[in-house]
Structure 1
Amino acid sequence: MSERRWKNAATPLSRWMLLVLLLGVVITSVVVGRGLYGSATVDGGGDYGAVFLILLYVNLFLVLALGFLVIRNLARLWLDRRRRMAGSQLRTRMVTLFVALSLFPTLVITLLSVELLNKGVDSWFSDQVSQALEKSLEVSRALYRENQRSVGHDAEDMVRNRIISSSFSLQGNEANMAALEIERQARQLDEIALIHSDGTHISRVGELPQEPTPDLTVIAPRSTRALMHTNDTGNIVRAYVRVGPDLFLVTGRYIDGQVLNHMETIESTYVDYNKLGASHGLLKGSHTITLILITLLLVLAAVWSGFRISETITEPITALVVGTRQVADGDLSVSLQVTGDDELATLMRSFNAMTQRLAENQQALQASNNLLEDRRRFMAAVVGNISSGVISVDHLGQISLMNPAAGSLLGIDPTNSVGHHFEKVMPEPVLAPLSSLLETALTLEAVGSENGMSELSVQIMMDVYNRPRTLLARLTLPDVGGPGFIVTFDDLTSVVHAQRSQAWSDVARRIAHEIKNPLTPIQLWAQRMRRRYLKPELADVTDWKVLDEGTQSIIQQVDELKVLVDEFSTFARLPRPDMKKDFLSDTLHEVLTLHDAEFKDLSIEVHLDESIPPFPFDRAQIKQVVTNLLTNAVAAMEDDRAQEISAAPSDTLVIRACVAENGRGVYVQVEDNGPGIPVGSRDRVFEPYFTTKQKGTGLGLAIVKKIIEDHGGRLWVKEAPNGGTLMEFMLPLAGPRQLPIPEHGGQEESVNAIPS
């Protein structure tokens, strides 16, 4: 049986036992009271010891039942304390308090009551009381005997003094009646009569009731002694005296009923007193047990009251403890059942109201947290996917946030950087500018910005993975008391390149305009001088050879300047592509055929995907792109062979083309086995007037890049597996408007997609 069921079952049992106990106490009190105050009614044949024995057994049963209840409740309380059940300690203190408050006063009262009872019982059976009862009994008996003696003495006196003689029977009845009346009044008798030996009345005065005559033969013939006779109730006393052989004198007196009652009361009291005196020890013991039983009853009532009151207190407290634990565990749906209208009920109602408000606040907080989490995820997604680098730094310099773009731009690991001081993770080129920004921001935050400045910025030049980059670091000043600073990094490399390209485009346009005009007259005058002065008949002239070499050099240099001017013009005024659907494979084959004689000493590998569909592109410009890439590759291998940088067995040129895996573009690769391009120069090869060749203007790859970008494509330079250079470009199948195009999406994809 569970503890709660046991408690529920124990409640009616305790009530039943308490009812039996109260009934037993009532019975015991009645019996004891009967023994104390009703002893006069106990007849002489009763055995009062048996009554006390029964009373002792009843008391013993009640004491055992009481002890069982007390021990059972204490055992249950002890088990609750061992199990550390909620409220057990409070119940223990309350029960102890109730027992202490009831036990000590009850013990004092019980001891005093027992002492007073013993003294009272002992005083009942003292010698003075016993002698007083004996004297009272003797006095009552003496009074009764005196009445009897007086009646007999009057009868004997009248016969002895011949006041009444045998002659009375011879006289008339009236004379007898008069004489008898005189004597009756004189002697204060209630009756005087003369009767025959057979009991018949001769003369009679008085009003006493007639009763059967006793046997008069017991009176001697000549005796003057009176025969005393009392009726059954004892209230009439008669004396019989012989007057003659057959004549008897009868005197009678009525005894007062109160006197007889007093005599009976005194006698019965004396008898009961003697019986009680024989068992006064048992009487004291029975009353002592009764007082002990009442004491135990009070203690039990205190214990039971303590349990009941403690339950009324501890049950709500236990419910509050359990509810508090559930709330601490996160369950805010707790609702306590409230009964009553006391302070504990008010506390439980307050608890329910608190949990309800907490639940409402939790729901609102959860909704707010969900909204904040959605915003955080959105911001994290935005920060994680934007191209700008974002770093959050607190006032102590600890990095609390770094997105992947910042790690990529700065060349550090974002995961290992968060939580560290920026001085420990930032590369050297960034450290000094960032420290300056943070110091300035802290100063402005401390003193306040008077000029309305809200942002600080600095440009940083650094190498990331051996590639030069231009970064713009911007720090936004937070509000006063903000958690820290947000620093953003933007890659300005492409912007700088674009600015340089635009600047060089303007320069090239001016150069083409300013140089091209005088070149033609110079070349024409050199040619005219040759026609006029370099005739065969003038070959012996001393300066003829000098003139020949000079004019020839002028013409050659002018031709080279024209080529340079044409490249300037092409770079500055590259026409928009004429987009027409065509086959890229045919274009590539055409370029290879045109330069077949030029590439006859090379080993050329061609891997073209014949499944490339026709798509819009400018055939002439793409031919120019491929021609430029092939020319650069051949020139690189020739320079490598001339300088004997590598010991390649043969110059190999590889051309690949295939459709991208996503089907959105076409990738073309031109690979050589030359010396390759240094890592630090790869990002600059597409800048105008940057070249790694001994000869060249540096505009070829810039023009190639511009053509590819006008087609909506991308261009990359990589290191070939054999150590040479791999130039790769991508053209969208849908034309230049197809977006988005990944910044380096074709790097990994093209390597896997293009067959080798």
Structure 2
Amino acid sequence: MIFCVLISFFFLLTLILVFNQKGLFTLSIKNSKKSKILKKILSFNRLTYLYFTILDNSPNIIIAIDKNNKVIFLNSRAEEVFGITKEEILGKNYEIFFQKFGVLERSILMDSLKYKKTFEVENYPIEVKNCVKRFWGKSYPLFGPKGEISGAVLVLWDTKDKQILTRELINQEKFSVVKTIATGTAHEIRNPLTTVKGFIQLLGQEKLNDPESKVFLNTVLQEINRIEKIISELLILGSDKGLKKTFFNLNYLIEKVVENFTPTAYLNNISIVKNLAKELPLFYGDEESLYLAITSILNNAFEALQKDGVIVIETFYEHGSNEIGLRIADNGPGIPEELRSKIFEPFFTTKPEGTGLGLAICYRTIEEHGGEIRVYNNETGGATFEITLPLPLENAHTQNSANCAG
């Protein structure tokens, strides 16, 4: 038996395993025709492996079945989400597989196989680890070389991912509108407003017989100041002036911001706790714009707190990491679930006196620095804003660290 196998092996391939100059195994083929065939087979195998790797590492769930409803492909993302392995499901009936995960009513994958069409569905409910998750799905029929149906494939996206993408597109449109308003009208409003404010300030210096007139003028001035603030924020949000980047220490910047809030914290009996990383690499960015961003988050925290509140500011960095981070947490009431996804949108505010632009500017600033900002509620109460910022290239960082040290 062994002899027959060896003869067949020699007859079909007549190859010899040899080492190349790099010490790797290569195939040496004696017959030129067979060499060409084998090279095509090897090339095909390489492409097959490449396609398989791409599909297997996709961030989306991919499942394929043959014409007999047997699962023939399941990628790593599907294994992760459903908590199963390929060994458990490959070759098994697809219907049994999905009954296990409580798919409601029907499967679009089965529909593609039956009707030979593409199907799409939103909010596709699947029970995963005793929790119903919703997906956006699309299924496609698979055809053989002669046009016959050979199976179907299902691709599932997490609905949250799609919602995040949609929200980002909406935010981009809003930022575009803000930019148009800012560049087209803000200066036109600010100039006459400055004149009006000047005349009202002159009137305020006059001796008015009616005390109510004095109150009235002060109210008008307060509202003008508020309009000026909105215009300034619009101009910042719509500005294309670019970032003025320098190397600076994020801890020192936080110290400067906190110093400005010290009187307010004292008057309202609010404690500001600083847990700043001792060995924080220098950051390369626009110090002024980040100062405003951190100020905006602290403003938000102070407005959410009652007296005797606590704000914790923390910086963090893992040695060897390519980013540094900042967390600002408070022990206030937290942010309702339905509002958390909206707080960075331009003009969104829950405060009667709010402009809805402060956190929008903050979001844009972090984005311009290539960083990320997210907000979440704490288990013990209150909310946390977490910012991560990318560090500069190692050689630039090292050089500037040395310059600063000297």
Normalised by the length of structure 2, the TM-score is 0.68
Structure with greater strand percent: 2
Q: Give the aligned length.
A: 357
Mark the runs of 5 or more structure 2 residues left unpaired by the alignment. 15-33, 397-406
Q: Report if the CA contact (8 A) 2:62-2:156 is conserved.
A: yes
Deviations 1:510-555 (A, max 9, x none): 443446634654674476478569964653xxxx84x666555444
Q: 1:501 aligns with which of 171, 181, 186?
A: 171
Task: Specify the alignment match of 1:386 in structure 2.
Answer: 58
Deviations 1:2-36 (A, max 9, x none): xxxxxxxxxxxxxxxxxxxxxxxxxxxxxxxxxxx
Q: Report if the CA contact (8 A) 1:516-1:562 is conserved.
A: no
Q: How far 1:617 sits from its partner (Å)? A: 1.8
Tell me the amino acid that sits aligned with residue 609 of structure 1: A
Deviations 1:320-368 (A, max 9, x none): xxxxxx4xxxx4x249xxxxxxxxxxxxxxxxxxx8447756999x999
Q: Is 1:727 aligned with 2:394?
A: no
Q: 2:374 aligns with which of 713, 716, 721?
A: 716
Deviations 1:298-325 (A, max 9, x none): xxxxxxxxxxxxxxxxxxxxxxxxxxxx
Tell me the amino acid that sits aligned with residue 111 of structure 2: E
Matches within 5 A, 1:351-750: 356-357=7-8, 360=11, 378-394=50-66, 400-405=72-77, 412-413=82-83, 415=85, 419=92, 420-421=94-95, 424=99, 435=107, 439=111, 442-444=114-116, 460=123, 473-479=137-143, 480-490=147-157, 491-512=161-182, 513-514=184-185, 517-518=188-189, 521=192, 524-525=195-196, 528=199, 536=207, 538-539=209-210, 545=212, 552-573=218-239, 575-600=241-266, 601-638=269-306, 650-679=308-337, 681-691=339-349, 696-720=354-378, 722-734=380-392
What is the distance in 2 between the residues matched to 1:561 and 1:462? Answer: 48
Q: Report if the CA contact (8 A) 1:511-1:565 is conserved.
A: no
What is the distance in 2 between the residues matched to 1:427 and 1:558? Answer: 59
Task: Specify the alignment match of 2:20 in structure 1.
Answer: none
Q: How far 1:612 sits from its partner (Å)? A: 1.8
Q: How far 1:594 sits from its partner (Å)? A: 2.2
Specify whether residues 675 and 538 from structure 1 end up closer, same or farther in structure 2 by C-alpha distance, changes over 3 A only: closer
Mark the runs of 5 or more structure 1 residues left unpaired by the alignment. 1-325, 336-354, 446-454, 642-649, 739-756
Specify whether residues 594 and 426 from structure 1 end up closer, same or farther in structure 2 by C-alpha distance, changes over 3 A only: same
1:729 is paired with a residue whose SS is: strand
Q: How far 1:678 sits from its partner (Å)? A: 4.1
Alignment RMSD (CA, Å): 4.5
What is the distance in 2 between the residues matched to 1:608 and 1:525? Answer: 46
Task: Specify the alignment match of 1:78 in structure 2.
Answer: none
Matches within 5 A, 1:338-349: none
Q: How far 1:472 sits from its partner (Å)? A: 5.5
Q: Report if the CA contact (8 A) 1:399-1:417 is conserved.
A: yes
Specify whether residues 673 and 368 from structure 1 end up closer, same or farther in structure 2 by C-alpha distance, changes over 3 A only: farther
Greater relative CO (CA pairs within 8 A, separation 6+): 2
Structure with greater helix percent: 1
Q: How far 1:701 sits from its partner (Å)? A: 3.1
Tell me the amino acid that sits aligned with residue 380 of structure 2: N
What is the distance in 1 between the residues matched to 2:345 and 2:65? Answer: 36
1:487 is paired with a residue whose SS is: strand
What is the distance in 2 between the residues matched to 1:485 and 1:678? Answer: 42
Q: How far 1:574 sits from its partner (Å)? A: 5.5
Q: How far 1:456 sits from its partner (Å)? A: 5.7
Q: Report if the CA contact (8 A) 1:470-1:493 is conserved.
A: no
Q: Report if the CA contact (8 A) 1:711-1:736 is conserved.
A: no
Normalised by the length of structure 1, the TM-score is 0.40
Q: How far 1:503 sits from its partner (Å)? A: 0.9
Q: Percent identity?
A: 20
Q: Report if the CA contact (8 A) 2:347-2:356 is conserved.
A: yes
Matches within 5 A, 1:23-34: none
Matches within 5 A, 1:54-93: none
Q: How far 1:504 sits from its partner (Å)? A: 0.6
Q: How far 1:670 sits from its partner (Å)? A: 1.4
Structure having the higher Rg: 1
